[in-house]
Every structure is written in structure tokens, then in C-alpha cells.
């Protein structure tokens, strides 16, 4: 599917859910954001449209200082175990943490339906909400990565979770209205370009 068709489809999707956004035509990138129900408070969302692929990045506001990056990388690795719809990423250069999803849109395939685009955009924000508070605990040094992931995943026996079970609610991210933050979109002026 070509880039122009995908851009038109993403424009229509954002309008249908009532989100404000900015679009950089030169880069074929949508910029938006939403409020989160965790200590992160909000996140920037970037939807990158290329030929045959849509990618969404939900950026945590925090940038991690170099001394805390090894712990955050362990947290991200433990959290990612078992994910099927995306992954946390940590940039080793500046410490930026984000959640990344994508959708393949090969030539000849159907245009992505709303449920596919909803997953593309809402799973990353739901995952930041689920893991955001515990990410901040690791950044602050008040919890180990194993303890933080266990707590984020609802496992109170953090020591038994040393191997990280990957039992997340990633697949449940679209099941509840609270996890679909369409009513919490930030004004387009509130989300800067990456």
C-alpha cells in the first residue's frame, strides 16, 4: 500500500476519534499526544508513515541519566518478555524510553481498519500507563528492575519474578475505556516534534 493512501487513512482515523494532531508532510509523520493515568502524566505520540508500514512511538517524558540506564535497560528487557504487539525501547545515547508498535501494510492488502489503527496507537499509551510508575521507580533507584516489573504486572511476589514471566495485560490494552485514551488527547500544540 503506498504512503499517500496510508497518510490519508491515518488522517481519517485521528479525525474519527477526535484527536488533534500535527502532520509533517516532508517527513510523513503525525505528532500528537495524550494524558496518562500515571506519574508520567502525558506522552508524545509519533506515527511514522512509510510505504507498506505504519509505526507508532509513545515517548515517556523522562530521559534517563547515564548512571541509571543499565537498570532501565534491565527493566525494559524484563517488561518486554512475552509482548506480542510491541516493545519498550531505550536509546543508549540519550536515555530516551519509548514504546514502539507497527503495522505491516503490504501492497495489495486491505487498508488498515479502525481496530488495527486503534491498537497501533492505544497499546503504546496503555503500556506506558501500566509500566510508567514502575519505570520511574527504577529511574529513581527506589526499586530493582525485577521488583518494578513484577509490581507493574501485578505480581506481589517480586523475588519469585526474577526471571520475569511476561504476564502483562498488553492484550487487554484495548478492552476497557480507560485504556483507550481518545478522550484524553492533548492539544496539538502540546506535542512537539521529535
Sequence ranges of the domains in the chain:
3-185
Enumerate residues 6+ apart whose C-beta is below 8 A from 175.
Answer: none
Q: How many CA atoms lie within 13 A of 117 on its CB side?
A: 21
Amino acid 2: pLDDT: 86
Long-range contacts of 65-70 (CB under 8 A, 24+ apart): 65/95, 66/95, 68/95, 68/138, 68/139, 68/141, 69/95
Amino acid 61: pLDDT: 60
Amino acid 175: pLDDT: 47
Strand partners, 101: 56
Digit-coded pLDDT (tens) for 68-98: 999 999 999 999 999 999 999 999 999 999 9
Please give the Cα distance from 20 to 6 (Å, whole number): 18
Amino acid 70: pLDDT: 96
CA distances from 73 to 3, 55, 67, 89, 136 (A): 33, 22, 11, 8, 13
Amino acid 192: pLDDT: 34
Please give the Cα distance from 30 to 110 (Å, whole number): 21
Amino acid 172: pLDDT: 53
Q: How many CA atoms lie within 13 A of 174 on its CB side?
A: 13
Mean pLDDT by 10 residues, the chain (194 residues): 92 95 96 89 93 94 88 97 94 94 93 96 94 95 97 69 44 46 45 35
Residue spans of alpha helices (H) in the chain: 3-17, 69-80, 114-140, 145-152
CATH top-level class of 3-185: alpha beta
Amino acid 14: pLDDT: 96
Question: What secondary structure letter does DSSP report for 178?
Answer: G
Amino acid at each position: 500500500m503506498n504512503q499517500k493512501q496510508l497518510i490519508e487513512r491515518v488522517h481519517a482515523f485521528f479525525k474519527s476519534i477526535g484527536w488533534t494532531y500535527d502532520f509533517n508532510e516532508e517527513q510523513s509523520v503525525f505528532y500528537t499526544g495524550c494524558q496518562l493515568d500515571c506519574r508520567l502524566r502525558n506522552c508524545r505520540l509519533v506515527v511514522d508513515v512509510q510505504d507498506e508500514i505504519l509505526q507508532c512511538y509513545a515517548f515517556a517524558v523522562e530521559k534517563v541519566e547515564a548512571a541509571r540506564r543499565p537498570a532501565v535497560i534491565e527493566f525494559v528487557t524484563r517488561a518486554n518478555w512475552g509482548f506480542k504487539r510491541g516493545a519498550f525501547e531505550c536509546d543508549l545515547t540519550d536515555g530516551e524510553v519509548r514504546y514502539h508498535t507497527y503495522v505491516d501494510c503490504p501492497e495489495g492488502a486491505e487498508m488498515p481498519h479502525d481496530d488495527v489503527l486503534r491498537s497501533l496507537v492505544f497499546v503504546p499509551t496503555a503500556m506506558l500507563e501500566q509500566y510508567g510508575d514502575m519505570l520511574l521507580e527504577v529511574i529513581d533507584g527506589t526499586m530493582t528492575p525485577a521488583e518494578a516489573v513484577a509490581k507493574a504486572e501485578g505480581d506481589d511476589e517480586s523475588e519469585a519474578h526474577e526471571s520475569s514471566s511476561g504476564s502483562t495485560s498488553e492484550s487487554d490494552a484495548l478492552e476497557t475505556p480507560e485504556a483507550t485514551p481518545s478522550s484524553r488527547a492533548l492539544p496539538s500544540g502540546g506535542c512537539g516534534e521529535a
